[in-house]
Chain A
Amino acid sequence: MLGPSGCGKTTLLNLIAGLIAPSAGTLAWWGGDFAATGTPGRRLGFVFQAPTLMPWARVAANVRLPLDLARVERSIGSREAAAALALVGLSDFAADLPRELSGGMQMRVSIARALALKPNLLLMDEPFGALDEFTRQRLDTELLGLWAGEQLTIVFVTHSIYEAVFLSTRVAVMGARPGRVIAEIAVDEPYPRSDAFRVSTKFAQICQHLSALVADAGAATRSQTIVPR
């Protein structure tokens, strides 16, 4: 999901996560009514804009939190949490406190926590937006590696065109007021994608195309706000 600030990307994720109820319409997931609670196999992971870790709990306990809340037996929970931590390459930091880690590492802990429940749908809300460009690129590449190894769908919200193109199979461009999808394009670059893709002509062309779409969305928004009622 790509779009300017305030177009409702986060609202959409909150809808999918069930934090807010839709005022109209339904949420459908693989053909089933999503809003119906207790849908079997509905396992969600959520990664926020900030790491959102419990500062008083060690890394391992932070990752185990969703399992604890679901009342998974402690020994099983610890094993699953350790596995999730290994996926993001932070096994050596299980006994650390969040404040002892860098921003990028805290974000990886946050991803491990989301993966601990083995979700089949992972929602990510501009997770790397606050990080520097180098860390962001490295984490994007890591994320693709994780995604390739797991059976899961990721809905990734970003306002970076480059990030959207590098990660996505499909990019949906959102416009504001009313928040809606104004364009959807497929990125037909096979996975695994390497850093070479970032500097290819194809990458540049898709980015340019998306830039124009996003600019249109912005222009549409502006003209709408000017028109008197």
Chain B
Amino acid sequence: MNENDAPSRALRYVAPALIAAALLVAWQALVTYYAVPSYIVPAPSVVWRALVADRALLADSLEVTLGIALTALAIATIVGTAIALVFVQSRWIEMSLFPYAVLLQVTPIVAIAPLIIIWVKDTRAALVLCAVVVAIFPIISNTTLGLRSVDHGLLNLFRMCRASRWQILMRLRIPSALPYFFGGLRIASGLSLIGAVVAEFVAGTGGAGAGLAYQILLAGMQLNVPRLFAALFLIAASGVVLFAATVALSRVALARWHESETTPAG
């Protein structure tokens, strides 16, 4: 690709940052100009002050929410990959069980979260379970697809060499599935956070183990809108960081050989 028509590396970070700055300035200006009260729309400066003032409280809540999301993501990755490995063992297994994986995906988490919270005694475990239910599907479906998307010629070559099932799995199926798996992980990272937040909204647990969702609920009831925005900002920022981390991970794993990482982004 021509270097002139590809945006430079710096621009890829500078351009979104400029947009953010412009939006913040406009937001601040509009709120000030129309004298909007901060319990309806707080100015960015007010949100920032809330973020700084409540930093101890919000940091604790962030830790709780992130902890739930990351635990759920780890469990979804391990269990989802294991399920995908079982699925590719035979078409029969996949045909019989895949509809239930879909069922898990299409049932809204807010609808089943109350049940999970009733059934699972430990609240934290219940929240993690909810987030796992939300995050696991892309891992299962992408990894299954990847394990099946093996180059036909290579599979023939392996069979001709009388490769065992295990050799085909380790040397052919798993490497072929990696790009798909990382695609699934990218989606699951965001979903695990959404799952953690939604589940906590439903559970509505306060006290020592309160996460960001509870802070939002509470701040809403108390009309402490600046703190609500501050919590919202932290959730969004964690989502972006989680996503960026999975992108970086897939870059490290695939950069050497896969098209998605070797072709320069336009």
Contact = CB atoms under 8 A, between A and B. Distances in A.
B113 to A, nearest CB: 40
A123 B125 CA distance: 58
Interface residues of B, number: 20
Interface of B is mostly: helix
B160 interface: yes
B172 to A, nearest CB: 8
B256 interface: yes
A44 B160 CA distance: 9
B161 interface: yes
Given A19-B156, A97-B256, A99-B257, A56 B161 contact: no
Interface string A2-27: 00000000000000011100000000
Contacts of A18: 160
B55 interface: no
Contacts of B44: none
B121 interface: no
Nearest to A14: B156
A56 B158 contact: no
B167 interface: yes
Contact of B160 (A19, A50, A55, A56): A19
A56 B256 contact: yes
Contacts of B91: none
Contacts of B151: 52
B167 A69 contact: yes
B154 interface: yes
B162 interface: yes
A174 B158 CA distance: 28
A65 B161 CA distance: 9
Contact of B153 (A17, A52, A56, A66): A52
Contacts of B167: 69
Interface string A50-90: 10101111000000011011100000000000000000000
A52 B157 contact: yes
Contact of A70 (B154, B161, B171, B256): B161
Contacts of A166: none
A97 B178 CA distance: 17
B261 to A, nearest CB: 11
Interface residues of A, number: 19
A68 B157 CA distance: 13
Given A46-B160, A66-B161, A69-B161, A54 B175 contact: yes
B49 interface: no
A12 to B, nearest CB: 15
A19 B159 contact: yes
Given A19-B156, A50-B153, A99-B262, A55 B161 contact: no
Nearest to B178: A56
A93 interface: no
A55 B258 contact: yes
A17 B153 CA distance: 13
A54 B257 CA distance: 10
Interface string A97-136: 1010000000000000000000000000000000000000
B157 A56 contact: no
A56 B162 contact: no
Given A19-B159, A19-B160, A99-B262, A56 B154 contact: no
Contacts of A44: 160
Interface string B242-257: 0000000000000011
Interface string A138-174: 0000000000000000000000000000000000000
21 contacts: A44-B160, A48-B156, A48-B157, A52-B153, A52-B154, A54-B154, A55-B258, A56-B178, A56-B256, A56-B257, A56-B258, A65-B157, A66-B161, A69-B161, A69-B162, A69-B167, A70-B161, A70-B162, A97-B256, A97-B257, A99-B262
Interface of A: 17-19, 44, 46, 48, 50, 52, 54-57, 65-66, 68-70, 97, 99
Given A48-B156, A50-B153, A56-B257, 6 more contacts: A44-B160, A46-B157, A52-B154, A54-B154, A55-B258, A56-B175
